[in-house]
Structure 1
Amino acid sequence: MSDSSPRARIGISGWRYAPWRKSFYPAGLPQRLELEYAASRLDTIEINGTFYSLQHRDSFVRWRETVPADFRFSVKGPRYITHMLGLRNAETALANFFASGVLALGPTLGPVLWQLPATRRFDADLVDAFCAQLPRTTTAAASIATGHDERLKDRDWVTTDADRPLRHVLEPRHESFGSPECLDVLRRHGVGLVVADSAGKWPQFREVTGDVVYVRLHGSTELYTSGYTEAELDEWAELCRGWLSGSSCPDVRGRDVYVYFDNDVKVHAPFNAIGLAERLR
Structure 2
Amino acid sequence: MLCCNKRMNKRTHPLYLGTAGWSISSAAAAPFPPEGSHLQRYGSVLNSVEINTSFYRPHQPATYARWADSVPDDFRFSVKLPRQITHELRLTQCDAELARFAGEVGHLGDKLGCVLVQLPPSLRFDAAVAQEFLTRLRQQFGVMLALEARHASWFGEDATALLRERHVTRVRADPPAGPPGAHEATTELAYIRLHGSPKIYYSSYTDAFLEELAASLHQKNAAGSWCIFDNTASGAALFNTLALQQLMHT
Structures share fold, TM-score greater than 0.5? yes
Using the size of structure 1 for normalisation, the TM-score is 0.78
Say if 2:68 is the partner of 1:61: no
1:196 touches 1:215 (CA, 8 Å); kept in 2?
yes
Give the unaligned 5+ runs of structure 2. 1-10
Deviations 1:243-263 (A, max 9, x none): 327xxxxxxxxx521000000
Q: Letter of the 1:54 partner, please give it.
A: P
The Cα RMSD (Å) is 2.4
Task: Label 1:39 to 1:234 Cα distance change in 2 as closer, same or farther (>3 A).
Answer: same
1:190–1:83 CA distance, 2 compared to 1 (3 A): same
Cα separation, 2, equivalents of 1:203 and 1:39: 36
**How many residues in Structure 1 have an aligned counterpart in Structure 2?**
237
Q: Which residue of 1 aligns with 2:107?
A: 104
Secondary structure of residue in 2 paired with 1:256: coil
- Cα deviation, 1:157-192, whole Å, max 9, x if unaligned, reads xxxxxxxx4121100111221111111010000000
Cα distance in 2 for residues equivalent to 1:37 and 1:80: 32
8 Å contact from structure 1 (residues 132, 189) kept in 2: yes
Note closer, same or farther for the CA distance 1:114–1:64 as it changes in structure 2 (3 Å cut).
Answer: same
**Preserved contact between residue 46 and residue 260 of structure 1 (Cα < 8 Å):** yes
SS, match of residue 134 in structure 1: helix
Q: Which residue of 1 aligns with 2:15?
A: 8
Q: TM-score, normalised by structure 2?
A: 0.87
Q: 1:1-281 alignment to 2 at 5 Å? A: 7-16=14-23, 20-25=24-29, 33-100=37-104, 102-135=105-138, 141=141, 165-198=142-175, 203=179, 206-244=183-221, 256-281=224-249
User: Within 1, Cα distance between the matches of 2:78 and 2:122?
Assistant: 24
Question: 1:155 corresponds to which residue?
Answer: none
Conserved in 1, the CA contact under 8 Å of 2:13 and 2:248?
A: no
1:74/1:109 contact within 8 Å kept: yes
**What letter corresponds to residue 8 of structure 1 in structure 2?**
L
- The letter of the residue matching 1:98 is A
Q: CA deviation at 1:128?
A: 1.4
Unaligned runs of 5+ in 1: 142-164, 246-254
Give the fraction of aligned pairs with identical amino acids, expressed as a percent: 35
Report the counterpart of residue 3 of structure 2 in structure 1. none
Post-superposition shift, 1:37? Answer: 1.2
Per-residue Cα deviation, 1:86-117 (whole angstroms, up to 9, x for no partner): 000111010110112x1111121101000001
Q: CA deviation at 1:201?
A: 6.8
Cα distance in 1 between the residues matched to 2:157 and 2:208: 32
Q: Cα offset for 1:242?
A: 3.8
